Structures are given as C-alpha cells and as structure tokens.
C-alpha cells in the first residue's frame, strides 16, 4: 500500500516536472522512502557523482574515482559513506542537507524553495531529478569500508 | 540519540563560518599561481596583456569626439598623471553623486569631456584604456579611505555574503571561508581585485573584474547583475576595501 502511494506520488511529481513539493516523510535525520518508489542504479549514480556539470560533487568532495584527476577538498571524502550513514540518512543529505545543518554549504539537490536569483535555465528546477537522486543514493550505499589513505 | 549524533557530526564537519579574512592574512592571489604564470605576469615581454596596455597607450593620444581632444590633451603623460589612480577606484563622483569604477570613469570622460561615444563594456578599446591606466598603479597599495564610499562598501559586503543561485552559495563561502582549498582543479583565491583587467588563459583574452564576477555568478547558477550595474560596482568597491593595502598588479595573468 505504502509502495503504491509512493509510486503514485512519483507519477504526480513527474507530471509536475521540476517540482519537489511532495516529499516522502523525514524521520529524525533521515528520509527512509525512495523518491521514486524504486531503487536507484549504482552505475548511473557513479556517473552522476563524477560529472562536474551534473552532480558537481567532485568540485567539493573526493571519492573512489582513480580516473578523475582533480577532486575538491571543501568537503569530506565520500569513501565509506555507507559505513557512516543509513540509506535514508544519505537520501536526506542529498535532497536537502540544510535540514541537518542549516549553515551547510552543500547544495540541496532536490529543492526549489528559498533560493535567490536562480539563473534563467535553472529557475524552478531541482539540481537533480528524483530518479537521479535515487541513483546517487544507490551509489553512495555501495561505498563501504575503503577509506582512501 | 540519532539526532544528537547527526548534530555532533555536523558540528565537526563544518567549522564555524570564518568571516572576513583577517587583514594580516590577506595576500595577492598571484601567489597561489604556478611559478610559470607568475613569471609570465611579471615580465612585460611575456605578459599577453601587454598588448592591451599598448592599445591603451596609443588610444590615450588619439583625438576624438566633438571636443577634438585626446586623453593626453587634458591629462598629459599618463605615466605621470595616472599614477596611483586605479589604486583608489571605484571612487565617489561628486558631479553625479554615484560611485564609478575605472571603466565607468573613462566612459564619463569620453561622453562628457571628450564628446565621444561611451565604449562598450569588454570592448578592446575600453579594456586597453583601463589596462593602461591600471598599469600606472602597479606596485602601489590599494587605497580605500573615502567615507563617501561607505554605502557602496556596505552594499557590496551584503551582496558578497548573500546566498544566491541554484547552488545557494555566497561569494564569502568560497572566498572568505574556503580560500586556498581545491574546488575541483581550481585553487579558491581570496578574490582580491589587484590584478584587473587581466589576461586569462581560459578566456584567451583580457577581461575586466566585472567579467570575472559574472563568471563566478554563473558558476553559482545565479543570474548575474548587468555589466556596469550599481550592484557590480558595489561589489568592486567592497573588494577594494577588503583588499586595501595590497599592491596593485595590473595587468595580471590567470590560468
């Protein structure tokens, strides 16, 4: 039943295009339910995280990407993310990290409210769509126990 | 319990916002570049922006407009009369009651004194004149002590610290709180205006400080202010105040 409601929600979200108004519930510091009602894809998630125009993650973070020469150091290493957080905690940290730390510099990837002067082509749009967020979460859940030296 | 852990983690991961860089730690962004680029900037014969200085020097002597006068007819030898000028711009203009940056001042001289047309922002001629005038301040410290600039400085500081764009970042997050860190391949500079206009390898051309600000705003996915706007001039005025005392380096070179 829950699954059906979530799936319906995802269809509605899809119709709304960019909108991220109807989010799954937040419990403590986690968003346990998938935005799409379906699990994400690890390989697609990895590609999104590595892409500097799509995920932008490596501008700030480093991670297990030996092929990517220039990785940022404004933020913690993504290695071992799944050791530190549950799937729901990781999802909320992508959807809207300001829910956990109001001062965070990490962008909210699935939120459109509260932003100023958004550049034309991006106005009213989330940085990633629901499916992409789930792909990124699936990829982060694959990052276990290999902290880079 | 979960909540407490999250709170502790968050506090550990994020140092309190640092605020303005202490005066003693402010230093030129030229210093974070490779030694090759620093050498290129320091050597007029290797610095690609030298062509722009030469363009400006030639234009300085060209008679134009309804007055039939050149810049030199009013100001004489730029190497003398323009010494130190760029180090105290943007400046308060009593006639218009506005704060003008160097490019705006040059265009004011053209339209109101020379009787010629304003030069478009980022045009070769305007960059040439600004680079030529800027070159006459090389090595001199930035001066920002006119109390009439206070409103522009305050406005610039507010714009500098405001979150904006789809990425919801502020200038201060990068340039006050994370300078020296790696943003992908780039080292985040302190963002001092000392070297502008400058030659940027990525642009394959000389560009103004406003062009740089525009680039940073587009990077934040924020709608840039219009070129020549009071907002950009306020940010420039704030940056000069923030960089006061640092030596001018125009024309610089950047990656």
Nearest of B138, B145, B123 to residue B208 by alpha carbon: B123
Q: What is the ipTM of this complex?
A: 0.88
Q: Is B222 on the interface with A (CB under 8 A)?
A: yes
CATH 1.10.3720.10 is the classification of domain A2-141: no
Whole-number pLDDT of residue A5: 42
Strands B198-200, B252-254: pairing kind: parallel
pTM value is: 0.90
Whole-number pLDDT of residue A10: 40
Encoded tokens for B153: 């400085």
Distance from CA of A49 to the nearest CA of B (A): 13
Q: Residues B89, B92, B94, B100: is their CA dihedral positive or negative?
A: positive
142-201 in B: which are within 8 Å (CB) of A? 162-169, 173, 177-178, 181-185, 188
Which of B19, B159, B167 is the best residue to mutate to test the A interface, defined by the most A CB atoms within 10 Å of its own CB?
B167
Pick the CATH number of B50-135 from 3.30.70.330, 1.10.760.10, 3.40.640.10, 3.40.190.10: 1.10.760.10
Chain-centre distance for alpha carbon B251: 11
CATH of domain B2-43+142-254: 1.10.760.10
* Helix extents (H) in chain B: 2-13, 35-42, 50-60, 71-75, 78-81, 102-108, 124-135, 150-161, 171-175, 209-219, 230-242
Question: CA–CA separation, A125 vs A3, rounded Å?
Answer: 26
Whole-number pLDDT of residue A22: 83
- Whether residue B183 and residue A59 make contact (CB cut-off 8 A), yes or no, is yes
- Whether residue A119 and residue B221 make contact (CB cut-off 8 A), yes or no, is yes
Whole-number pLDDT of residue A21: 57
**What value does the mean pLDDT take over residues B19-48?**
95
Encoded tokens for A111: 């939120």
Domain ranges of chain A: 2-141
Catalytic status, residue B216: yes
B13 contact residues in A (CB cutoff 8 A): 75-76, 101
Q: What is the mean pLDDT of chain A?
A: 88
- Whether residue B168 and residue A107 make contact (CB cut-off 8 A), yes or no, is yes
Whole-number pLDDT of residue A14: 37
Within chain B, which residue ranges are assigned CATH 1.10.760.10? 2-43+142-254, 50-135
Residue reference for tokens 């205006």: B193
Whole-number pLDDT of residue A140: 98
Helix (H) or strand (E) holding A96: none
Which of A86, A95, A111, A115 is the best residue to mutate to test the B interface, defined by the most B CB atoms within 10 Å of its own CB?
A115
**pLDDT tens, position by position, B29-38:** 999 999 999 9
Q: Report DSSP state, residue B68.
A: T
* Residues contacting residue B233 through CB under 8 Å, at least 6 positions apart: B90, B99, B100, B101, B104, B152
Question: CA–CA separation, A31 vs A100, rounded Å?
Answer: 11
């Amino acid at each position: 039943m829950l699954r059906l409601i979530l799936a319906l929600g995802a269809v509605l979200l899809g119709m709304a295009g960019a909108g991220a108004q109807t989010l799954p519930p937040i419990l403590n510091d986690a968003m346990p339910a998938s935005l799409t009602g379906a699990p994400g894809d690890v390989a697609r998630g990895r590609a999104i995280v590595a892409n500097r125009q799509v995920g932008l993650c490596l501008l700030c973070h480093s991670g297990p990407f030996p092929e990517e020469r220039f990785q940022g150091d404004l933020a913690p290493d993504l290695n071992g993310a799944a050791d530190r957080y549950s799937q729901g905690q990781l999802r909320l940290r992508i959807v809207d990290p300001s829910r956990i730390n109001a001062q965070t510099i990490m962008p909210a990837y699935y939120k459109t409210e509260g932003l100023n002067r958004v550049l034309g082509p991006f106005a009213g749009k989330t940085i990633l769509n629901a499916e992409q967020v789930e792909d990124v979460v699936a990829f982060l859940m694959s990052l276990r126990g290999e902290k880079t030296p | 319990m979960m909540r407490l852990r999250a709170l502790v983690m968050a506090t550990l991961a994020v140092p309190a916002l640092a605020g303005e860089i202490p005066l003693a730690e402010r230093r030129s962004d030229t210093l974070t570049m490779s030694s090759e680029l620093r050498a290129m900037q320091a050597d007029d014969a290797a610095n690609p922006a030298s062509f722009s200085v030469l363009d400006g020097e030639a234009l300085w002597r060209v008679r134009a407009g309804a007055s039939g006068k050149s810049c030199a007819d009013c100001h004489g030898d730029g190497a003398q009369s323009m010494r130190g000028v760029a180090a105290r711009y943007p400046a308060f203009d009593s006639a218009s009651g506005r704060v003008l940056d160097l490019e705006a001042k040059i265009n004011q001289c053209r339209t109101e004194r020379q009787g010629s047309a304003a030069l478009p922002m980022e045009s070769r001629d305007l960059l040439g004149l600004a680079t030529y005038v800027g070159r006459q301040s090389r090595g001199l410290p930035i001066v920002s002590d006119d109390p009439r600039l206070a409103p522009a400085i305050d406005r610039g500081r507010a714009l500098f610290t405001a979150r904006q764009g789809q990425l919801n970042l502020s200038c201060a997050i990068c340039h006050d709180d994370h300078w020296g860190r790696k943003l992908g391949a780039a080292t985040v500079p302190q963002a001092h205006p000392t070297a502008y206009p400058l030659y940027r390898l990525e642009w394959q051309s000389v560009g103004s400080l406003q062009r740089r600000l525009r680039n940073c705003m587009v990077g934040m996915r924020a709608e840039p202010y219009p070129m020549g706007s009071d907002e950009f001039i306020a940010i420039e005025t704030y940056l000069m105040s923030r960089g006061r005392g640092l030596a001018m380096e125009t024309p610089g070179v950047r990656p």
